[in-house]
Amino acid sequence: MKRPKTSRAWWLDRHVHDPFVKLAQKEGYRSRAAYKLLWLTEKDHLLKPGMTVVDLGAAPGGWCQVAARKVGEKGRVIGIDLLPVEPIPGVTLFQADFTSDEGLALVENALDGKKADLVLSDMAPNLSGVKDADQAKHYVLAELALEFAVQWLKPDGAFVVKVFQGAGFEDFVRQARQVFRQVNVRKPDASRDESRENFLVAKGLKV
């Protein structure tokens, strides 16, 4: 009788055989998440040369890599995460807590009073295993990212944030629609079918 795999063994097996993991290794991206942003960029025309981009929750750096390649030498990419991120050419990185006053100040000072063209948030809380509590913590982070985007985006800028179906989802989408003229919920090809993960793409500040 075949021994059933443990959950960790199953995860490792899936990870090793994941086509986006293999593609990331081949193309030099640090994570399969890079293909989520590439898909969103193609779908919603998010990244162009010369843009200023802020990446909240940047580790391990896949989204920063995509952004840096797209905005080019005339653009700017600023990333922040609690976890360390190995240096990326053309990217200003901070290891700090974005939710703290100190972390927020680091990003704001790096912007030097200039507004961003794109704010990205792939932030996620440390999981406790309690679904409702983890969902609530996630939307606290999403709301902080939304507040930052409203304050620091150019009027025609865009905001991308990871969201999860379930408690808090509809309320958050409603909040975003109060301040952005266009709000869409996307599920990139690189998001696994069984995942409740989606990405909200918002454009055009109303305020």
Q: Which residues are catalytic?
A: 162
How many angstroms separate the CA atoms of 197 and 77, rounded?
A: 24
Edge-first strand order for the sheet with 153-164 is 91-95, 76-81, 52-56, 116-121, 153-164, 197-205, 180-186
Judge contact between 59 and 83, C-beta under 8 A: yes
Helices (H), 50-124: 62-71, 101-111
Pairing of strands 76-81, 52-56: parallel
